[in-house]
Amino acid sequence: MTAPLYTVLALDLTSAGSEVVHGPWGLVRLLDAVNGSGTVQTDVKLTVQAGREGEGVPMRLGHGFLAAATERWLLTWDAQPGITATLGFAESAGIVDWDADPPAKLVTGSLSITQPATLQTVADTVVVDGTTGLLTGATADRRHALVQAVAGGQCRVGDSAAGAARGIRLNPGDVMRIEGTAPIYVHAPAGGGNITVALLHVRD
């Protein structure tokens, strides 16, 4: 079974607030929650509501909330100074991929959608235990990249500062979609062994 595609959202919970997330997502999962020192927080005051009716459901680290695909998710949280939460939103089976910045251009009298032209696979990357490795450099014509944790333990994906307490956490088999052209780095937390990561470019 293919792992779902993710888009991710980071929230600063220092002050109480709320945020509406749009897009036909059928699953939301609390991927990470850390304080200013990078310590994982297992109990955060954060609720999620699918659609416009019903009550919010409390979120816990690693837990997911599954619903019929909806174009509106309401996130609400209490003030938790120094806490940052990262959530992943996944597509439901059969839902067309939603892109927050679709590749489109307006032509007089009609609308023309320009689709990506190239899929490019690369050899799997092995990141040594306790180190951060470059998965791919900046790629000018990349629409987005799909990153999958193939083998080994848990890893962190992000920029060059990705580390034990920085970056999005992926478990073996998880897939992450990253928009844009920036370099992508992967960190293998110390003591977890080497990890293997697969990469697919979607390019113009």
**Total Cβ atoms within 10 A of residue 40:** 11
* Among 168, 170, 177, 113, residue whose Cα is nearest residue 143: 177
- Cα dihedral angle (90, 96, 97, 102), rounded to 10 degrees? -140
DSSP, res 62: T
Whole-Å CA distances, 150 to 153, 154, 181, 197: 9, 10, 22, 5
Q: Could you read off the pLDDT of 81-101 as tens digits, one per residue?
A: 989 988 877 775 333 333 334
Mean model confidence pLDDT for the chain: 81
Confidence class for position 35, pLDDT limits 50, 70, 90: confident
- Cα dihedral angle (66, 166, 194, 150), rounded to 10 degrees? 30
Q: How far apart, in whole angstroms, are the C-alpha atoms of residue 119 and residue 107?
A: 26
Return the CA Rg of the chain.
18
Predicted confidence at residue 47, as pLDDT, reads: 87
* 149 against 6, higher pLDDT: 149
Q: Could you read off the pLDDT of 153-184 as tens digits, one per residue?
A: 999 999 999 999 999 999 999 999 998 889 99
Domains assigned to the chain: 6-91 (2.60.120), 118-203 (2.60.120.770)
Q: Could you read off the pLDDT of 111-128 as tens digits, one per residue?
A: 555 666 788 999 999 999
Confidence class for position 54, pLDDT limits 50, 70, 90: low
Scanning the structure block, which residue is given the tokens 């992450």?
A: 176
58: tokens are 């409390």
CA dihedral over 137, 138, 140, 141, signed as positive or negative: positive
